[in-house]
C-alpha cells in the first residue's frame, strides 16, 4: 500500500514538470534583435544572448524552448548567461554553426610590415612572411595580459589568435623543447638564473619577454615575466619570485628532472609559421600565417578571442541541452557553471579556449556525450554528488574525443579532472597532451571502455590516470576494460611515467580487464590498501608492469590522512556497508600496503623490465602485494594482433586464461567512442581509433626454443648424462668409502634397504636423505662422507660435514679462462666460507655462497657454481638460465627431471626475468599433467630464487 502511494507521488511530481508545447526561436547572424522575438524563421533575432533572454520570459515557463542557430559564425559580444529550464540550444537542422567568443579579423586588415625597426628583428624569411594588423582598427581594443601560471589555476584571460580554426602560438624560442638553466646566482629561491646561448643577443629591445619552464620540479611548469634580460652575461632576472624555486638542469638528459625553460612573447623569435606576437603598446598584431606566401586570403578565417567565459550557466538551470555546434575562441572557459542538473552537452566541438573546455562544479545528472574537445587548457572539469551521504552525482561523460588538451601549459590541466562521487566516464578517446588524461578525487567513479594514449608527452614524470593523494576514504572506483598505451614521456631511459598511479595511500580501487601496453610503468601503487588489480593484460612495460611500495606517512602527511579520514562518517551504517574494510581501518596499520591483490594478470615483459619492482622483497608477500598468480604471455604470438593494438589473448596465454577464469580483454574497437556522429554533424567526423579486426587472428605459433644452453652444474643435477659415479639408471645408489661404525656399509651399491623402507627409489629427495642417515649411522666422521646418486636421473649429493663447492673453475680468479664450456671440475671444501660465515654449521650461509662466488668468478654462463651443505645434503646452484625440476612429467616423458627452460627463454624471457622464470613452475606443472603429487620447481639461477608449484 505504502509502495503504491510512493509510486503515485513520484508519478505526480514527474508530471508536474512535463511540458507540452515546443517553442522555437531562430537566431541568424543577419537577424535583428530589436525588431522581433525570433519565433519565425523569416524574422530571426541576431544574437544568441537575445534569444536566451526572450526564451527566459515567464510566459514560456511551461514550454520546451528550442533556440535554433542558423548557419554561420555567431560571434557573441558578451558572455551568454543561461538560467532557465527546459531549453535546447542547437544548430538548425544540423547545419554548420560556430559560436565564437571572438572577432573575425578580415583579410584586408593584414598589411606588409614596413617599419624598418621591426623588420630588422626578423630573419630574412620571416621578413617575407610576417604581416601586421592594427588591432584597434578592427575593433580589438582589450588585449588582456599574459598570465602567471603555476601560481594560478584560473589563468588571467588574454587575447589569442586562431587561423582557420586552429589556435596559433605566441612567438617563442626555442621553438621546440627547452634550454638549460646553467646557474642560479641567487640560489634556489632567488630570481636570477643563467643560460648558455648567444641567440638572445640578436634580440633588440624586447618589451615584454617572459619565460616558461620546469624551473625546479618536473611536475610543475611556470610562466613568469622577465624584468631584465642581459644577453651579454646571459642572465635572466625575473619580475617575480618563482613559485617553487629554480635550479640548474639539463634538458633532454638522463637524470635531470627540471631546470630548463624557454623564452616566450619575443617578437624577434617570430621565426616560424603559426606564431604571432601582440605589441600592446602600439596595438599591433604580428603574425606568420601558415600560407606559403604569408598572405591571408579572403576565404581564410582568422579570429581573435575576446570573451572570457563564453557560456555561463546559472545555478538554477535544469534540463538544458546544448547540441551540434562548434564553440570556440573563448579567452577562458567554453562552458562554465555550478549547481546544474539534467544538463546535456552533446555533439559539440569545443576548441581554442584559454582554460578548460567545460567546467562544471556541483553538477548532477549531467551528460557530456559525443563531443570533440581539443586545443584547450584542460578538457572537462567536473564535480558533483555528495560523498558524506554516498549520493552519486549521476554524471556521465561518454563517447567524447579529447585531445591536445594542454595547449598553453604542460602541467595541472587534464583531459578530464573530476571530484566527488559517482561520475561515469566511458568510451572516451583521450590523447595527446603533456599532462594526465584523467585525474580523479573521490569515490565510486566508473572509468570504462576508454582509449587513452600519448599523454604525458615530453615529460620526465607524469601519469596517464591518477588518483588524489593521501586519503583512505576515496574508495570504490572501478577502472575496467580500458586500453591505455604509450605513456612514455621523453624518449630517454629511466623516465618515470606511469599509465596509472594510485597515489599516496589511495585505497579500494578496482583495476580489471584493461589492456596496458608500451608504457614505462603500467601501474604505480604508492602504499595504499585493498586495491584489486587483476585480469589485466600488461604488455611490454619498459620498466615495470607494477610498481608497488610501502609509503611511510609521518608528520603532516599522516595528519592529513587522519583528517581526511575523520571528515567522513566511515563508521556509519551506509559507509560500513559500502566499504567494510574501511570501517575496520582503526585496527590496521596505516603504513602497511595491506590487501593489494595483483594476481591474475597476463604479462609480457622483456629484460631488464620486471613484473614487480621488488620481487623477493618483503612487500611482495601475499598480505601486502599479492603477486602469486601471473600468466605469462609469449609476446605477439599470444595476442590477436599486436600491431593493431588488439591484445586479446590467444594460444598459451588463452590456455592460462581459461584455467584462471581470466576474462577476455577488449579489442580496440570495443573502447573509445562508439556512437556517431562525433562532434557536430557538419564535421562528419568518423572514429579515428577503430581498426580492421579482420586482420586479427587467433591462430597459434610459438618461437622455437633456443638451441644454445647454459652449462649445467658440475655436480650432477639430473639435467645431463655427465656422471661422477658410474651407477645404473635404476634405484638409489650410495657410495661409502669409510664407515667407522659399520664397516659392512662400505662400497658402491644400490640402497635396497632405503628403496624398500624409505621410498629412496621413488625420488631424488628421498634418495638424498639416505646419504645423510647413512653418514649419521656411520658416526658423522669428517673423513667419511657419503654420496647418494638417484639412478634414474643421475642427480647427486654428498652427506658429511662442512660446506663444499662444486664448480668448473673461476674465470676471474684463478681460471680457467672463460669463453667455452669445459667438462672437468672439482668439488672441494669452502674453507673461507666456513671460517668467515660459519658455513660449516649454518646451511643458509653455506648455500648463499653459490651466488656470491658465481658473481665473484665473473657471472659466466659456462661456469655455474653449486654449493653443497653436507650435514643435510642440501644444494644450490648459481649460474645462467631458468631451470625446471620435476620428479615425473607423465604427459611429457621427454623432459628430464632437471632441464634448462629453452622454450621459456625464447618465448618468455625466462633467462632474464626472474618472475617469468618462477612462473614457469606453474606452466610446466600444467604441461606435465597437473598432478598434485608431482610439484614442479623453477630455479632462476642468476639470483638462485626458486618457486615450487603447487
- Our finding on whether 191 is near ligand NAG (CB under 6 A) is no
The rounded distance, in Å, linking the Cα atoms of 202 and 218 is 30
Minimum distance, C-beta of residue 37 to ligand NAG, in the bound complex (Å): 11
d(CA 866, CA 40): 94
542 contacts ligand NAG (rule: CB under 6 A): yes
Mapped onto helix, strand or coil, the DSSP state of residue 889 is: coil
Within 255-397, where are the H helices? none
Residue of the chain from 47, 341, 507, 540 that contacts ligand NAG (CB under 6 A): 540
- 248 part of the interface to ligand NAG, by CB under 6 A: no
Closest contact distance (angstroms) between CB of 222 and ligand NAG is 24
Given 96, 391, 597, 606, the residue binding ligand NAG (CB under 6 A):
606
Phi/psi for 380 (5° steps) reads -125, 130
In the bound complex, what is the minimum distance in angstroms from residue 34's beta carbon to ligand NAG?
17
- For residues 71 and 143, give the distance between their C-alpha atoms in angstroms, rounded to a whole number: 28
**Residue 23 or 693 with smaller CB distance to ligand NAG:** 23
165 binds ligand NAG (CB under 6 A): no
Among 7, 10, 57, 61, binds ligand NAG (CB under 6 A): 61
Provide the 10 A C-beta neighbour count for residue 342. 18
Q: Which stretch binds ligand NAG (CB under 6 A): 634-642, 656-664, 764-772, 912-920?
A: 634-642
Residue 45 makes contact with ligand NAG by CB under 6 A: no
- CB–CB of 773/753 below 8 Å? no
Task: Out of 319, 443, 531, 633, point to the residue binding ligand NAG (CB under 6 A).
Answer: 319
Residue 64 in contact with ligand NAG, rule: CB under 6 A: yes
C-alpha cell at 19: 511540458
Residue 60, Ramachandran bin (φ over 0: left; ψ between -120 and 50: alpha; else beta): alpha
Which residue number, 44 or 800, has a Cβ lying nearer to ligand NAG?
44
Q: Does residue number 489 form part of the binding site for ligand NAG (CB under 6 A)?
A: no
The piece of 60-68, 588-596, 866-874, 927-935 that touches ligand NAG (CB under 6 A) is: 60-68
Query: How many angstroms separate the Cα of 331 from the Cα of each of 158, 165, 173, 355?
Result: 6, 15, 23, 7
The strand order across the sheet containing 166-167 reads: 102-104, 302-305, 161-163, 166-167
Among 54-62, 67-75, 213-221, 788-796, which window interacts with ligand NAG (CB under 6 A)? 54-62
Contacting residues for 494 by C-beta, under 8 A, at least 6 apart:
254, 255, 543
CA 302 distance to own-chain centroid: 38
- Nearest approach in angstroms of CB 343 to ligand NAG is 11
CB of 914 to ligand NAG, least distance (A): 18
Q: Does 17 bind ligand NAG (CB under 6 A)?
A: yes
> Which span sits near ligand NAG by CB under 6 A: 2-10, 17-25, 76-84, 352-360?
17-25
Measure the CA–CA gap between 868 and 713, rounded to whole angstroms.
Answer: 12
Sheet holding 111-112, edge to edge: 111-112, 131-134, 284-287, 275-279, 169-170
With binding defined as CB under 6 A, does residue 56 bind ligand NAG?
A: no
Give the Cβ contact number of residue 622 at 10 Å: 13
Q: Segment 96-155, which members bind ligand NAG (CB under 6 A)?
A: none
59 versus 932: smaller Cβ distance to ligand NAG: 59
Residue with smaller CB distance to ligand NAG, 634 or 919 = 634
Hey, which residues between 365 and 424 contact ligand NAG (CB under 6 A)? none
* 3-class DSSP state of 357: coil
Number of residues located near ligand NAG, criterion CB under 6 A: 21
Three-state DSSP class for 384?
strand
DSSP 286-304: EE--SSTTSPPPTT--EEE
Q: Among the candidate windows 13-21, 259-267, 694-702, 894-902, which touches ligand NAG by CB under 6 A? A: 13-21
862 binds ligand NAG (CB under 6 A): no
Q: What gap in Å lies between CA 735 and CA 747, rounded to an integer?
A: 6
63/930 Cα distance (integer angstroms) = 71
637 vs 858, which CB is nearer to ligand NAG?
637
Residue 341 contacts ligand NAG per CB under 6 A: no
Using the contact rule CB under 6 A, the part of the chain among 15-23, 668-676, 686-694, 713-721 near ligand NAG is 15-23
Given the rule CB under 6 A, which residues bind ligand NAG? 17-19, 40, 42, 59, 61-62, 64, 86, 88, 182, 196, 319, 321, 540, 542, 606, 635-636, 642
Amino acid at each position: 500500500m505504502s509502495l503504491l502511494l510512493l509510486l503515485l507521488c513520484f508519478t505526480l511530481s514527474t508530471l508536474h514538470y512535463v511540458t507540452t508545447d515546443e517553442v522555437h526561436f531562430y537566431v541568424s547572424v543577419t537577424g535583428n534583435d530589436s525588431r522581433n522575438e525570433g519565433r519565425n524563421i523569416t524574422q530571426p533575432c541576431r544574437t544568441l544572448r537575445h534569444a536566451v533572454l526572450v526564451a527566459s520570459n515567464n510566459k514560456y515557463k511551461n514550454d520546451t524552448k528550442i533556440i535554433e542557430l542558423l548557419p554561420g559564425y555567431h560571434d557573441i559580444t558578451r558572455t551568454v548567461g543561461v538560467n532557465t529550464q527546459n531549453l535546447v540550444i542547437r544548430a538548425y537542422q544540423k547545419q554548420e554553426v560556430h559560436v565564437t567568443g571572438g572577432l573575425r579579423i578580415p583579410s584586408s586588415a593584414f598589411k606588409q610590415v614596413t617599419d624598418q625597426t621591426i623588420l630588422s628583428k626578423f630573419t630574412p624569411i620571416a621578413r617575407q612572411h610576417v604581416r601586421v594588423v592594427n588591432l584597434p582598427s578592427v575593433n580589438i581594443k582589450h588585449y588582456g595580459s599574459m598570465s602567471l601560471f603555476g601560481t594560478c589555476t584560473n589563468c588571467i584571460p588574454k587575447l589569442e589568435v586562431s587561423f582557420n580554426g586552429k589556435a596559433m602560438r605566441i612567438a617563442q624560442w626555442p621553438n621546440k623543447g627547452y634550454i638549460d638553466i646553467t646557474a642560479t646566482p641567487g640560489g634556489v629561491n632567488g630570481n636570477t638564473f643563467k643560460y648558455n646561448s648567444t641567440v638572445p643577443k640578436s634580440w633588440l629591445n624586447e618589451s615584454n619577454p617572459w619565460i616558461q619552464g620546469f624551473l625546479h620540479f618536473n611536475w610543475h611548469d611556470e610562466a613568469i615575466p622577465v624584468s631584465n634580460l642581459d644577453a651579454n652575461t646571459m642572465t635572466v632576472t625575473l619580475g617575480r619570485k618563482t613559485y617553487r624555486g629554480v635550479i640548474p638542469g639539463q634538458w633532454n638528459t638522463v637524470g635531470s628532472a627540471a631546470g630548463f625553460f624557454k623564452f616566450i612573447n619575443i617578437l624577434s623569435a617570430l621565426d616560424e609559421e603559426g606564431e604571432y606576437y601582440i605589441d600592446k603598446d602600439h596595438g599591433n598584431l604580428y603574425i606568420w600565417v601558415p600560407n606559403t606566401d604569408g598572405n591571408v586570403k579572403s576565404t581564410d578565417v582568422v579570429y581573435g578571442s575576446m570573451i572570457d567565459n563564453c557560456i555561463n550557466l546559472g545555478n538554477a538551470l535544469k534540463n538544458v541541452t546544448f547540441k551540434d555546434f562548434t564553440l570556440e575562441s573563448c579567452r577562458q572557459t567554453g562552458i562554465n557553471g555550478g549547481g546544474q542538473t539534467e544538463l546535456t552537452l552533446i555533439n559539440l566541438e569545443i576548441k581554442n579556449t584559454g582554460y578548460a573546455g567545460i567546467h562544471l562544479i556541483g553538477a548532477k545528472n549531467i551528460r557530456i556525450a559525443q563531443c570533440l574537445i581539443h586545443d584547450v587548457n584542460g578538457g572537462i572539469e567536473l564535480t558533483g554528488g555528495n560523498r558524506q551521504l554516498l549520493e552519486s552525482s549521476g554524471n556521465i561523460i561518454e563517447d567524447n574525443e579529447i585531445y591536445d588538451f594542454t595547449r598553453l601549459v604542460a602541467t595541472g590541466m587534464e583531459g578530464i579532472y573530476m571530484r566527488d562521487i559517482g561520475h561515469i566516464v566511458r568510451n572516451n578517446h583521450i590523447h595527446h597532451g603533456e599532462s594526465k588524461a584523467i585525474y580523479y578525487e573521490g569515490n565510486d567513479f566508473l572509468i570504462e571502455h576508454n582509449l587513452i594514449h600519448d599523454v604525458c608527452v615530453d615529460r620526465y614524470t607524469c601519469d596517464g590516470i591518477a588518483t588524489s593523494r593521501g586519503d583512505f576514504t576515496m574508495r570504490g572506483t572501478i577502472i575496467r576494460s580500458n586500453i591505455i598505451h604509450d605513456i612514455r614521456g621523453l624518449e630517454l631511459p629511466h623516465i618515470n611515467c606511469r599509465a596509472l598511479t594510485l597515489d599516496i595511500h589511495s585505497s579500494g580501487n578496482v583495476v580489471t580487464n584493461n589492456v596496458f601496453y608500451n608504457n614505462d610503468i603500467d601501474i604505480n601503487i604508492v602504499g595504499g590498501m585493498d586495491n584489486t588489480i587483476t585480469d589485466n593484460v600488461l604488455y611490454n612495460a619498459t620498466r615495470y608492469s607494477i610498481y608497488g611500495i610501502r609509503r611511510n606517512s609521518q608528520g603532516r602527511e599522516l595528519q592529513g590522512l587522519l583528517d581526511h579520514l575523520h571528515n567522513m562518517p566511515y563508521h556509519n551504517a551506509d559507509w560500513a556497508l559500502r566499504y567494510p574494510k574501511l570501517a575496520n581501518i582503526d585496527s590496521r596499520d596505516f603504513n602497511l600496503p595491506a590487501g593489494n591483490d595483483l594476481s591474475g594478470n597476463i604479462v609480457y615483459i622483456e629484460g631488464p623490465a620486471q613484473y614487480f619492482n621488488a620481487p623477493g622483497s618483503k612487500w611482495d608477500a601475499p598480505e601486502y602485494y599479492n603477486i602469486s598468480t601471473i600468466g605469462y604471455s609469449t609476446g605477439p604470438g599470444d595476442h590477436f594482433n599486436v600491431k593493431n593494438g588488439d591484445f586479446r589473448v590467444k594460444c598459451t596465454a588463452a590456455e592460462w586464461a581459461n584455467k584462471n577464469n581470466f576474462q577476455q580483454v577488449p579489442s580496440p574497437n570495443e573502447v573509445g567512442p562508439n556512437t556517431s556522429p562525433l562532434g557536430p554533424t557538419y564535421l562528419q567526423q568518423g572514429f579515428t581509433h577503430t581498426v580492421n579486426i579482420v586482420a586479427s587472428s587467433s591462430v597459434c605459433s610459438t618461437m622455437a626454443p633456443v638451441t644454445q644452453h647454459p652449462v649445467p652444474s658440475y655436480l650432477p643435477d639430473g639435467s645431463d648424462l655427465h656422471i661422477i659415479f658410474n651407477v645404473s639408471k635404476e634405484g638409489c645408489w650410495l657410495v661409502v668409502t669409510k664407515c667407522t661404525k659399520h664397516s659392512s656399509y662400505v662400497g658402491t651399491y644400490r640402497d635396497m634397504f632405503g628403496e624398500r623402507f624409505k621410498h629412496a627409489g621413488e625420488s631424488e629427495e628421498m634418495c638424498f636423505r639416505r646419504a645423510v642417515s647413512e653418514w649419521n649411522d656411520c658416526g658423522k666422521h669428517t673423513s667419511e662422507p657419503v654420496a647418494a646418486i638417484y639412478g634414474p636421473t643421475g642427480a647427486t649429493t654428498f652427506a658429511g660435514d662442512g660446506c663444499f663447492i662444486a664448480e668448473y673453475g673461476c674465470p676471474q680468479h684463478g681460471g680457467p679462462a672463460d669463453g667455452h664450456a669445459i667438462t672437468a671440475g672439482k668439488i672441494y671444501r669452502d674453507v673461507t666460507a666456513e671460517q668467515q660465515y660459519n658455513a660449516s654449521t649454518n646451511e643458509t650461509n653455506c648455500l648463499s655462497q653459490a651466488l656470491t662466488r658465481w658473481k665473484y668468478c665473473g657471472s659466466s654462463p659456462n661456469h655455474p657454481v653449486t654449493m653443497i651443505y653436507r650435514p643435510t645434503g642440501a644444494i644450490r646452484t648459481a649460474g645462467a638460465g631458468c631451470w625446471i625440476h620435476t620428479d615425473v612429467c607423465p604427459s611429457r616423458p621427454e623432459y628430464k627431471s632437471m632441464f634448462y627452460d629453452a622454450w621459456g627463454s625464447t618465448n618468455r624471457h625466462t633467462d632474464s626475468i626472474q618472475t617469468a622464470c618462477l612462473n614457469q613452475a606453474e606452466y610446466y606443472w600444467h604441461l606435465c599433467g597437473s598432478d598434485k603429487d608431482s610439484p614442479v620447481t623453477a630455479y632462476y639461477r642468476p639470483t638462485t630464487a626458486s618457486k615450487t608449484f603447487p
